[in-house]
Structure 1
Amino acid sequence: MDMNQLFEFLKQNWLIFLIALIVLFVIVSFVKTVVKWALVLVIVAAVAVYSGITWNDIDNVVTTVKDETVQQLKDQAMNAMVQEAKKATFSAGADGTYTIKSPNVELKGSTNSSKVKLAFNGVSLGEWEINDTMKLFIDEAKKK
């Protein structure tokens, strides 16, 4: 949806949006149960449908935000690996597994695998293919 089109629609229908906001404020202020959130969702969905926003548009926005957030977390995790490599500790298990921990990053892997499980600030980012940054992080942790 084009932003100019959205702004033009808001200019033409400002009264409806104002009434919806007032109703939402009243509901949130006075209703104290789960029904409150059901009513809020119904009103927001009705305004969205009235404004011409489709579920496909919403899905695209959610997907874009999710992808950008995951990419930012990945970038931050890689930067943290570079910055915290000297603080990382390496511990190996008897079965060939290893764990590397630094203040913000935790890697878990196996010596015969090309993948590791990565957690950043306690949030699991899934299983990743080992890249050059990770190899440097692993090597620096092994030196200690």
Structure 2
Amino acid sequence: MDFDINAWQQFLQDNWIIAVIALVLIFIIMKLVKTVLKWVLVIAVVVGFFAYGGYSIKDLENIGTKVTSEMKDQAIKSMAGEAKEATYEDLADGAYVIKTTNLELTGVKNSGEITVKLRGISLGTWKMEGEVKDFVVKARAASK
């Protein structure tokens, strides 16, 4: 099984009540049952917890990937329509910031990468290619 902390966090956020109940059951079983049966019961509670969620960790990772992909698509669509009204600002350390109504892009000149935020939500660091590069060039030209 792959260990992805983000997928586990999302799983626990969605099922926190069941997780608390499962932990209480485990503690009760550990205190009251003194035989090998307690380990069978603990394993049953843990398996039941994950089965109740109905999702495997891979399913949660796939959902996260789809959401991230959709956000990236929205950001690229915003770039196409907002380049003319973008503000471009050179910073003293060689970095620059481009802001529009929905987007904020931060990068360092000639680094080949840019950090993208859509409506304040970080979408990570993207390579400076395709639509992203076109947007930066248009934004820089529009601000002059």
Q: TM-score, normalised by structure 1?
A: 0.62
Structure 1 unaligned segments of length 5 or more: list them.
Answer: 1-33
Per-residue deviation, residues 59-98 of structure 1 (Å, max 9, x unmatched): 1210110110011111111111111111111000122110
1:106 aligns with 2:104: yes
Q: Matched residues, percent identical?
A: 31
The 1:104/1:41 distance shift into structure 2, 3 A limit, reads: farther
Partner of residue 18, structure 1:
none
Measured at CA, do residues 35 and 127 of structure 1 come closer, stay the same or move farther in structure 2, by a change above 3 Å? closer
Q: Distance in 2 between matches of 1:35 and 1:89?
A: 46
* Aligned residues: CA RMSD: 3.3
4+ long deviations beyond 2 Å: 34-43, 52-57
Query: Which blocks of at least 5 consecutive residues in structure 2 are unaligned?
Result: 1-15, 26-43
Q: More relative contact order in 1 or in 2 (CA 8 Å, sep 6+)?
A: 2
Alignment match, 1:67: 65
The aligned length equals: 108
TM-score (norm 2): 0.62
| CA-to-aligned-CA distance 1:12-32 (integer Å, 9 cap, x gap) | xxxxxxxxxxxxxxxxxxxxx
How far is 1:139 from its partner? 1.4
Q: Are 1:124 and 2:122 matched, yes or no?
A: yes
